[in-house]
Amino acid sequence: MHEIVCVGDVHEGLTFDFRIDPETGISERALDLHGNFAKAAQWAMEHQASLFCILGDLFDRTHVAPVFRELVRRDVIEPLGKAGIEVWILAGNHDQPRRAARSTSLDDFRGYAHVRIFRDPKAETRTIGGRKVGFILLPYLHPEEIVEQIREKLGKEIPREEAYEAARRVWKSWIQNRADDLKGADLRILFGHFEMQGVRYASTTPPEVVPHDFTFTRDMLPASVSLAVFGHIHLHQTLFDKVVYTGAPERIDWGERLDPKGFVAVRADGTWSFVELPARPMEKVEVTVGMGEDATRRVLEALPKDTAGKLIRVELRLPDALRASLDERKLSERLRDAFHCELRLTSTERPRITTDEFTMDPTRLLAEYVDRNFEGHPRKDAIKAEAQRLLREALT
């Protein structure tokens, strides 16, 4: 009772090109993401939470299809309102427009009395469980916005690196001042959607990272702030004893296949717990086949015995001459109970995939362009993810 439920990085509206309902146009995989978000709201209602806070990236882009906004309204916003639970929504890097004057799908929920949308830094106080709790709220600001603001403040052009250092000093001072303003608070909590220096990314690739992203440092958190809870990084973790990342409530990318998923419940005494949610199992199968070997048999032997309801990715490396011998019909039959499966073929003789599939899908074309032109770049996956997000935003 009186918990503050913190959920981050839901990414409603994320598109998937498989298991799509022809009537709604929604993939069942997108419903996995929504389902865990709704489970977090249900937990909040069952435990009579005082506050339900979404720490950025409720939506996968600034404007999503009406059906996703309706799902959130029907399964989360309105039920929480009927239960008397206040809802706070912080803008994240995916659903925060690059210009403050632009609207966003988040604004659809401003008409609800129990909902607050935060697109600018704010400080709030609430009495929860008989204790006065002060909140410092830091929604996401895009890197170029931060640089522009600092340049305007200083009245001159300065390099990005110097602008970031100046921004850290300004934000550190602002956070300290807001913490000082929360006089009489029994507890001070910071909610934000940023990367903290020293954070660990998802198990393999870090798709949630924005190139040139602004990074918070440990010294920006004053001693008077007892707890900082962040969205933005999809891996649940703690840093420096008082910095907590909720992680995403469901696996967004293959890089998260090994990560537990859920949300964070904060209590009025400053303690918290991670509530794990059931996530869709994801298994990657890596097979290398040499000349003279039966490629089909090798893959079949490597597949997990239980594939029901799982996402399966098979990454097969084989010589060009064996490509035609692979019986994909047998593989499909063996994986018929899987939720979804994909086969990735790589030549052991050439660095690239053996066959090129024709596509007019702009997001896939963009991904292929990044793969070809940023091969070996240390942040290739981050660049690809951000480029695809911007393209989806431009196309909607």
pLDDT digits (tens, 9 = 90+) for 363-374: 667 877 887 778
The tens digit of pLDDT for each residue in 153-212 reads: 777 777 777 777 888 888 899 999 999 999 889 999 999 999 998 998 876 555 455 556
- As a whole number of angstroms, the distance between CA 193 and CA 237 comes to 14
Q: How many residues does the chain have?
A: 396
Is residue 228 within 8 A of residue 244, CB to CB? The reply is yes
Give residue 20's Cα distance to chain centre: 22
Give the Å distances, CA to CA, from 5 to 53, 119, 273.
6, 20, 10
Q: Retrieve residue 309's tokens.
A: 């309801």
7 backbone dihedrals φ, ψ, rounded to 5° = -120, 135
- As a whole number of angstroms, the distance between CA 246 and CA 43 comes to 15
Helix (H) or strand (E) holding 35: helix 28-46
Give the pTM: 0.84
- As a whole number of angstroms, the distance between CA 154 and CA 186 comes to 36
- As a whole number of angstroms, the distance between CA 150 and CA 57 comes to 25
| Superfamily name and number for 4-277 | Metallo-dependent phosphatases (3.60.21.10)
Task: Look at residue 226 and give its three-state secondary structure.
Answer: coil
Reported as a pLDDT band with limits 50, 70 and 90, residue 274 is: very high
- As a whole number of angstroms, the distance between CA 34 and CA 375 comes to 34
Mean pLDDT estimate for the chain: 88
**pLDDT value at position 356?**
44
- Where is average pLDDT lowest: 101-115, 274-288, 333-347, 350-364? 350-364
Task: Look at residue 218 and give its three-state secondary structure.
Answer: helix
Q: Which residues pair with residue 331 across a beta bridge?
A: none
Q: Which residues contact 361 (CB under 8 A, 6 or more apart)?
A: 17
| Selection from 386, 387, 384, 354 nearest residue 372 by Cα | 384
**pLDDT value at position 361?**
59
**pLDDT value at position 76?**
98
- Beta strands 122-128 and 131-138, pairing class: antiparallel
Is residue 155 within 8 A of residue 102, CB to CB? The reply is no
Q: Retrieve residue 148's tokens.
A: 């522009």
Q: What is the mean pLDDT of residues 132-143?
A: 92
The tens digit of pLDDT for each residue in 21-39 reads: 998 889 999 999 999 999 9
**pLDDT value at position 294?**
95
Q: What is the mean pLDDT of residues 62-88?
A: 96
- Where is average pLDDT lowest: 158-162, 236-240, 246-250? 158-162
**pLDDT value at position 212?**
65
In the chain, where the domains are located: 4-277, 282-395
The strand order across the sheet containing 131-138 reads 122-128, 131-138, 187-193, 227-231, 243-245, 237-239
Q: Retrieve residue 310's tokens.
A: 């799982």
Q: What is the mean pLDDT of residues 268-289?
A: 96
Please name the amino acid found at residue 16.
Answer: F
Residue 44 clears pLDDT 80, i.e. is over it: yes
| Selection from 252, 250, 123 nearest residue 188 by Cα | 123
Q: Retrieve residue 137's tokens.
A: 């709220």
Give residue 245's Cα distance to chain centre: 11
Residue 377 clears pLDDT 80, i.e. is over it: no
- Beta strands 86-90 and 215-216, pairing class: unpaired
**pLDDT value at position 384?**
76
Residue 382 clears pLDDT 60, i.e. is over it: yes
**pLDDT value at position 146?**
74
> What letter would DSSP give residue 303?
S
Q: Which residues contact 139 (CB under 8 A, 6 or more apart)?
A: 56, 90, 91, 92, 96, 118, 119, 120, 121, 192, 193
B/e letters for 131-143, b = 16+ CB within 10 Å, e = fewer, are: ebbbbbbbbbbbb
Give the Å distances, CA to CA, from 103 to 9, 68, 317.
20, 17, 47
Residue 286 clears pLDDT 60, i.e. is over it: yes
**pLDDT value at position 209?**
55
| Selection from 208, 213, 297, 223 nearest residue 254 by Cα | 208
**pLDDT value at position 355?**
42
Residue 324 clears pLDDT 80, i.e. is over it: yes
Most confident of 41-50, 133-142, 209-218, 358-367: 41-50
